[in-house]
């Protein structure tokens, strides 16, 4: 089975278009159509239903897609393993990180990395930690520097780099400011928290669930900077990394209200890491040892 034909098939399946796939692969549309025709002839079945300009996978196409993606990833993995025989740190490195980590933890690290490895073409995607882990599972990126999941995800390795203490906060005019506060007290007031399903929200909910307490959620969002603003204007109490707390916020203190989330690296345990990925991981690990 021709690898170029498989690449064309996967690209069309992902873009839903022969024309978009031809542009992405830098080949003409007649050429990409020829590759698909050859693949369909080899397999003896249509792979796409062509209805006007719309392209949809047939049942045979859906079956092939999963296998084709796996085959192409294994080929890339083999190429990477061979490339790693060289000690040179060069080529492309795709990573993902959360907005908060990218803004508050990575600038100095990336400055060091870019200065020391100028031959690396670094591509960074900013996204939720949960989405980054999914891309690692799918083999789309090599490393994710994110909030670590509370429950280990199959096929993913994770390494702690930073402990990130969290603070319960209100604005200076909030009714709770200056009061003796407990987790039970907080459940009586509206909260502004990270969105449901995020790893940070899970950390917070776990603390309250241990006491069989239910939160009163007023608003939620994936962006910690937005949560900080909503707390500052008085929409409720919230939980933020201690590093984000400033003079406009008041930290609520109580023995039972101690939280820390874990920040670190996630990578696929069945994929060979490139030399650029290893170099970044090694430097991050030195930071972990120095903390």
Q: By percentage, how much of the chain surpasses pLDDT 90?
A: 66
pLDDT value for 86: 66
Binning pLDDT at 50, 70 and 90, where does residue 84 land? Answer: low
Chain segment 30-45, per-residue pLDDT in tens: 999 999 999 999 999 9
Residue 192 makes CB contacts below 8 A (sequence gap 6+) with 218, 219, 220, 227, 230, 231, 235, 236, 237, 238
Same domain flag for 65 and 7: yes
pLDDT value for 291: 62
Same domain flag for 113 and 245: no
Number of domains comprising the chain: 3
Domain end marker among 27, 54, 83: 83
Q: Model's pTM, two decimal places?
A: 0.70
Domain end marker among 64, 83, 102: 83
Q: What CATH number has the domain bearing residue 15?
A: 1.10.10.10
Residue, of 79 and 68, whose pLDDT is higher: 68
Domain end marker among 83, 114, 129: 83
Same domain flag for 195 and 248: yes
pLDDT value for 264: 95
Is the predicted pLDDT of residue 279 greater than 90, yes or no?
yes
Binning pLDDT at 50, 70 and 90, where does residue 139 land? Answer: confident
Same domain flag for 77 and 198: no
Same domain flag for 240 and 200: yes
Residue, of 52 and 221, whose pLDDT is higher: 221
Query: What is the domain extent for residue 196?
Result: 164-259
Binning pLDDT at 50, 70 and 90, where does residue 189 land? Answer: very high
Same domain flag for 137 and 270: yes
Same domain flag for 9 and 95: no
Chain segment 86-138, per-residue pLDDT in tens: 678 888 899 999 999 999 999 999 999 999 999 999 999 999 999 999 999 98
Same domain flag for 107 and 120: yes
Same domain flag for 142 and 190: no
Chain segment 212-266, per-residue pLDDT in tens: 999 999 999 989 999 999 999 999 999 999 989 999 999 998 767 789 999 999 9
Same domain flag for 170 and 246: yes
Is the predicted pLDDT of residue 81 greater than 80, yes or no?
no
- How far lies 5's CA from each of 1, 2, 67, 187, 216, in Å? 8, 5, 13, 58, 54
Same domain flag for 214 and 240: yes
Same domain flag for 129 and 185: no
Residue 27 Cα to chain centre, angstroms:
31
Q: What CATH number has the domain bearing residue 175?
A: 3.40.190.10
Determine the Cα–Cα distance for residues 160 and 170; give it in Å rounded to an integer.
29
Rounded to 5 degrees, φ, ψ at 56 are -130, 145
């Amino acid at each position: 089975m021709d690898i170029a034909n498989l690449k064309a098939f996967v690209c069309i399946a992902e873009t839903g278009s022969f024309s978009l796939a031809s542009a992405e692969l830098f080949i003409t549309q007649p050429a990409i159509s020829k590759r698909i025709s050859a693949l369909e002839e080899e397999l003896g079945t249509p792979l796409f239903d062509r209805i006007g300009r719309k392209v949809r996978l047939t049942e045979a196409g859906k079956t092939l897609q999963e296998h084709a993606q796996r085959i192409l990833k294994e080929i890339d993995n083999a190429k990477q393993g061979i490339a790693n025989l060289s000690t040179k740190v060069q080529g492309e490195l795709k990573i993902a990180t959360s907005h908060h980590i990218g803004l508050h933890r990575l600038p100095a690290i990336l400055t060091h990395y870019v200065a020391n490895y100028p031959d690396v073409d670094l591509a960074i995607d900013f996204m939720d930690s949960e989405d980054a882990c999914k891309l690692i599972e799918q083999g789309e990126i090599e490393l994710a520097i994110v909030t670590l999941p509370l429950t280990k995800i199959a096929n993913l390795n994770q390494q702690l780099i930073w402990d990130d203490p969290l603070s319960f906060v209100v604005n200076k005019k909030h009714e709770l400011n200056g009061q003796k506060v407990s987790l039970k007290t907080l459940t009586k007031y509206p909260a502004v928290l990270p969105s449901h399903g995020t790893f940070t929200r899970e950390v917070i909910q776990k603390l309250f669930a241990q006491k069989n307490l239910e939160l009163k959620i007023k608003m939620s969002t994936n962006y910690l900077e937005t949560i900080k603003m909503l707390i500052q204007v008085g929409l409720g109490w919230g939980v933020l990394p201690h590093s984000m707390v400033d003079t406009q916020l008041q930290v609520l203190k109580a023995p039972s209200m101690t939280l820390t989330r874990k920040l670190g690296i996630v990578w696929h345990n069945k994929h060979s890491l490139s030399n650029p990925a290893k170099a970044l991981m090694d430097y991050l690990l030195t930071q972990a040892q120095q903390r």
